[in-house]
Amino acid sequence: MNEFMIDPGSTPAAWPPMLVGALLGVLVMLTLVVANRTLGASSAYATIAGLIGRALAPRHTQSLGYFKKKTPALDWGLMLVTGVVAGAFLAAWSGGELTGRWLPPMWVARFGPEVWPRLATAFAGGVLMAFGARLAGGCTSGHGISGTLQLSVGSWLSVICFFLGGMAVAFPIYRW
Amino acid sequence: MDTRESAPEQRLSKPARLASGLAFGVCFGFLLQKGGVAKFEILIGALLLEDFTVFEVMLSAILVGMLGVHILHARGLVELHIKPTRYAANIIGGLVFGAGFALSAYCPGTGAAALGQGNYDALAMMTGMVAGSYLFAEASAWLARRVEPIGDRGELTLPQLTSVPKAVWVWGLGAVLIVVLALLKTASPS
């Protein structure tokens, strides 16, 4: 327990979680009023994938169904996720919670200090999340917050499946 | 009701819209980190039902956002953006997403926040997200033909599904969320 207490990335939330949640709710209202957009993170990665694909294999990338429907371009969503990195840096820096490390202590306690297994696992997780988010139509922010608060049936169904799928994999990894 | 003509987007130039995305992203990331949901232990703790921080953040965001957006929409100040309901795609995609979430511990938004906080392993997850997005694009024509039409209900909302008035859903679910949040607070395992 003590080793966790001194790790800046493993402390409890700096601000009360319900206060943060309430402010996120206000943020969704503001994005709708100001930019006519809702918060959602996952499509930014698809935009990057499309931009890279268009640079490396333009004809093939443009032939793919998803990129035909949604032409990759520097857009609101990509700017949003770029801002998230900067905003989280400001928050961690102002709160003395910058971690600056490759391995989370909880991972090390379970799997040891090798870096590559963690990176491979996180990469595989990213592949699955992107595929799942595109198929489901959103991620924990797009469906989980923006979609649920508009009472979308698909968003509630998706977010329930996010957590069911997550539990089904997290328990064997960390608790069995 | 069509509010598109008065929609704020049309009043913002493209550079202003991109700048607003960046500004909102900074706020979003700042809040995610302050709420603790950029932290590996807190995110995995949610999936292990050992830490309720993620649920407290999400449910209170839904509570405030739902009431606020409902009122703004009733006054014609905002357009809604309802994502389509496709039962098979939502369920299969949702479960695959969840499995990936457990492996990487970060979700797409909180992973970007984790990187900003200094958790460099989030870079691997973000690279995987780019690769996975391209993989999805490769399969997208087939999925659009074979999976997305299964149980495709379009922009379906809970009030429409249940034939219960929207205001009843909003204020009723709001009350339920307040009770659930109070229970989470008292039952918090940590």
Do B99 and B58 share a structural domain? no
User: What band does B124 get if pLDDT is binned at 50, 70 and 90?
Assistant: very high
Do B69 and B163 share a structural domain? yes
Contact A26/B12, CB-based, under 8 Å? no
Nearest chain B residue to A46 by CA: give it: B133
In a domain, B118, yes or no: yes
pLDDT tens across A80-118, in order? 999 999 999 999 999 999 999 999 999 999 999 999 999
Contact A133/B97, CB-based, under 8 Å? yes
In a domain, B167, yes or no: yes
Task: Indicate whether this complex's ipTM tops 0.90.
Answer: yes
Round to the nearest angstrom and report the end-to-end CA distance of chain A.
20
pLDDT tens across B131-161, in order? 999 999 999 999 999 999 999 999 999 999 9
In a domain, B4, yes or no: no
Q: Which phi and psi (to 5°) does residue A39 adopt?
A: -70, 135
Domain limits for position B148: 85-154
Do B112 and B61 share a structural domain? no
Report CA-CA distances (Å) from B111 to A47, A62, A156, B106, B166: 17, 28, 22, 5, 34
Question: What total number of domains does chain B contain?
Answer: 2
In a domain, B110, yes or no: yes
Do B150 and B167 share a structural domain? no
Do B58 and B104 share a structural domain? no
Helical H segments across A137-176, by residue range: 153-175
Looking at chain A, the whole-number percentage of residues with pLDDT higher than 90 is: 93
Average pLDDT over residues B18-36: 98
Dist CA A67 CA B27 (whole Å): 29
Do B136 and B92 share a structural domain? yes
Looking at chain B, the whole-number percentage of residues with pLDDT higher than 90 is: 89
Give A2→chain B minimum CA distance, Å: 15
In a domain, B44, yes or no: no
Contact B133/A134, CB-based, under 8 Å? yes
Do B104 and B65 share a structural domain? no
In a domain, B11, yes or no: no
DSSP output for chain B: ---GGG-GGGGS-HHHHHHHHHHHHHHHHHHHHHTTTT-HHHHHHHHTTS--HHHHHHHHHHHHHHHHHHHHHHTT-----PPPEEHHHHHHHHHHHHHHHHHHS--HHHHHHHHHHTBTTHHHHHHHHHHHHHHHHHHHHHHHHHTTTTTEEES-BHHHHHT--HHHHHHHHHHHHHHHHHHHHHH---
Residue with tokens 């391995």: A103
Do B71 and B164 share a structural domain? yes
pLDDT tens across A67-79, in order? 999 999 999 999 9
Do B148 and B89 share a structural domain? yes
Contact B86/A30, CB-based, under 8 Å? no
Which residues on chain B are in Cβ contact (under 8 Å) with A57? none
Going by C-alpha positions, the residue among A117, A11, A96 that lies closest to residue B38 is: A11
Report CA-CA distances (Å) from B102 to A136, A160, B42, B80, B99: 17, 14, 12, 31, 5
Give A114→chain B minimum CA distance, Å: 12
Do B174 and B146 share a structural domain? no
